[in-house]
Amino acid sequence: MIAIIGGSGMNKLSGLEELHRQIMRTPYGEPSSPLLFGTINGQEIVFLSRHGYGHTIPPHAVNYRANMWALNALQADRVIAIASVGGIRADMIPGKIVIPDQIIDYTYDRKFTYFDGTDKAVTHTDFTQPYCPIGRASILRAARHAGESVIDGGVYAATQGPRLETEAEINRLERDGADMVGMTGMPETILARELGLSYATIAAVANHAAGRGESTQAVPLETVYTVLEESMVHVRNILEHLVQDYGD
């Protein structure tokens, strides 16, 4: 079964024929929202809204451990995370869809591992390739079948939020090799790896990062939301083909 995590711009999944909802409890508390089970093109999927259905949970307060634990308990064999990002690299302009292949973690004070109890052995998880290559390949294949243009690869910088970054901070991220910036990539990505989940991200560029683009002024939030709405049409198209390809 494919699990889809919706982020900003995708609190609900249109095209989903809802079957039932399930409230889950985990050793780490409750997930961000009830798990929504349904079908797309006849294929069963489960949907989780990362920020809650009312988009009330800020990035630093998301219960990432509960979210990923719940999806693992449901035996999801592929997790596709949707994220909105700011574009740093010149070609990552608003409206572009990116399938990142690397990540840099700048977050702090988040519950970032399942192996932090004194009753557990010290565990070092390989994170050389943070995103599942099979999951990434399935997204890229679905995008081709859907006729959607995506950027293959890019470095996601995960920042703390909920505030946006300064221009100086974006300059630093660029020097570090980051191509895009978001607030939810970590610890979600490493938690998926610790659980052995196949996890990959579809990133929708909602705006230029601070100091990038033609204008150095702050982008109005209304403009960001408009771009996200338009981008999610393309993301949903990719997801529909991804689910269809998975069932074939």
51 is in an annotated binding site: yes
How many whole angstroms separate alpha carbon 164 and alpha carbon 232?
A: 21
Angle among Cα 206, 30, 64 to the nearest 5 degrees reads 40
3-state SS track over 127-183: CCCCCCHHHHHHHHHHHHHHCCCCEECCEEEECCCCCCCCHHHHHHHHHHCCCEEEC
In DSSP terms, 3 is beta-bridged to 46, 79
1 is in an annotated binding site: no
Burial code (b: 16+ CB inside 10 Å, e: under 16) for 200-221 equals bbbbbbbbbbbbbbeeeeebee
Cβ–Cβ contacts within 10 Å for residue 161, how many?
16
232 is in an annotated binding site: no
41 is in an annotated binding site: no
Tokens of 92: 């990552």
Identify the H or E element spanning 69.
helix 64-73
184 is in an annotated binding site: yes
171 is in an annotated binding site: no
Tokens of 52: 């809650």
Strand locations in the chain (E): 2-6, 17-22, 35-40, 43-49, 78-87, 97-99, 102-105, 151-152, 155-158, 180-182, 199-208
Annotated binding site: 8, 50-51, 183-184, 207-209
Query: Which segments are annotated as binding site for substrate?
Result: 183, 207-209
Binding residues for phosphate: 8, 50-51, 184
